[in-house]
């Protein structure tokens, strides 16, 4: 038994050592860019093709509603409509950015929902042990060993509520938060932090260069025109 702990799957640190929330959002935004750059659109087009060939798969809507997949498929279907009506169609950056921005916003919202849930659940003493993954400790092996030690500790007893759970959410830092009453302090923002969060705007780190923008738009064009051509010939 083992755990693979990704840098993007780490819970925010405690109040005394937590990450800046805006920095946390920027990390999520970058992760969205990486997911798209690494093949989200091609995978989503594959799902659309599967759905067109096997309509029964649409009965299981879960895979088609996942954050990222839904936004990608909506964008690709819109592109297919445009390409089908215009033989000279080529994807515009503004339309791609709308898709990208929505993906980022949904991801940040999901993260916020996790934090809200965790803030409430954190108050249930003995139910969770938060494992943090701060910038001060990037030794993933050390984190894995620590989590395994927690998991293989006293088993959870439904009758007594004894035992420890391991909480890993979306965020970023080390150590185990075993203090009492820190849930609200860990999550709640100051007025200044709240102002910065509300004013957050994505700062692109991959699609901020001409060559990467041209490359992803070329990919969209190839995926969409190929799917439209196959649809017209079938």
Q: What is the pLDDT of residues 191-233, one digit of tens each?
A: 777 777 777 888 899 999 999 999 999 999 999 999 999 887 7
Q: Quick check: 80 pLDDT over 60?
A: yes
CA distance 120 to 228: 48
Q: Highest mean pLDDT range out of 61-70, 73-82, 129-138?
A: 73-82
What's the whole-number mean pLDDT along residues 171-184? 37
Higher pLDDT, 124 or 18: 124
Report the pLDDT value the prediction gives residue 125, as an integer from 0 to 100.
Answer: 58
Q: Per-residue DSSP letters for 77-136?
A: HHHHHHHHH-TT----HHHHHHHHHHHHHHHHHHHHHHHHHHHHHTTSTTT-EEEE--TT
Report the pLDDT value the prediction gives residue 162, as an integer from 0 to 100.
Answer: 41
Higher pLDDT, 69 or 5: 69
Report the pLDDT value the prediction gives residue 5, as an integer from 0 to 100.
Answer: 36
Q: What is the pLDDT of residues 107-152, one digit of tens each?
A: 999 988 887 777 666 666 555 666 655 544 456 677 777 777 766 6
Report the pLDDT value the prediction gives residue 58, as an integer from 0 to 100.
Answer: 65
Report the pLDDT value the prediction gives residue 191, as an integer from 0 to 100.
Answer: 77
Q: Which two tokens stand for residue 209?
A: 């260069």
Q: What is the pTM of this model?
A: 0.69
Cβ atoms 231, 110 nearer than 8 A? no
Report the pLDDT value the prediction gives residue 34, as an integer from 0 to 100.
Answer: 96
Starting from the edge strand earliest in sequence, which strands make up the sheet with 175-177, in order?
Answer: 166-167, 129-132, 175-177
CA distance 195 to 212: 32
Mean of the per-residue pLDDT values for the chain? 74
Higher pLDDT, 134 or 71: 71
């Amino acid at each position: 038994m083992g755990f693979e702990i990704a840098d993007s799957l780490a819970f925010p640190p405690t109040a005394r050592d937590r990450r800046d929330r805006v920095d946390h959002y920027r990390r999520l935004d970058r992760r969205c860019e990486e997911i798209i750059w690494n093949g989200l659109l091609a995978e989503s087009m594959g799902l659309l093709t599967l759905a067109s060939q096997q309509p029964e798969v649409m009965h299981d809507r879960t895979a088609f509603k996942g954050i990222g997949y839904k936004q990608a498929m909506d964008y690709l279907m819109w592109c297919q409509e445009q390409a089908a009506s215009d033989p000279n169609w080529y994807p515009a950056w503004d339309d791609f950015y709308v898709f990208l921005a929505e993906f980022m916003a949904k991801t940040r919202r999901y993260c916020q929902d996790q934090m809200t849930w965790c803030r409430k659940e954190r108050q249930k003493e003995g139910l969770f042990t938060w494992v943090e993954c701060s910038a001060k400790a990037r030794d993933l092996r050390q984190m894995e060993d620590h989590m395994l030690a927690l998991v293989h500790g006293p088993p959870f007893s439904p009758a007594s509520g004894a035992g420890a759970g391991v909480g890993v959410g979306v965020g970023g830092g080390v150590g185990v938060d075993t203090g009492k009453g820190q849930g609200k302090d860990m999550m709640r923002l100051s007025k200044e932090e709240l102002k910065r969060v509300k004013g957050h705007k994505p700062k692109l780190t991959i699609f901020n260069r001409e060559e990467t923008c041209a490359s992803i738009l070329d990919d969209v064009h190839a995926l969409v025109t190929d799917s439209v051509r196959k649809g017209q010939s079938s």
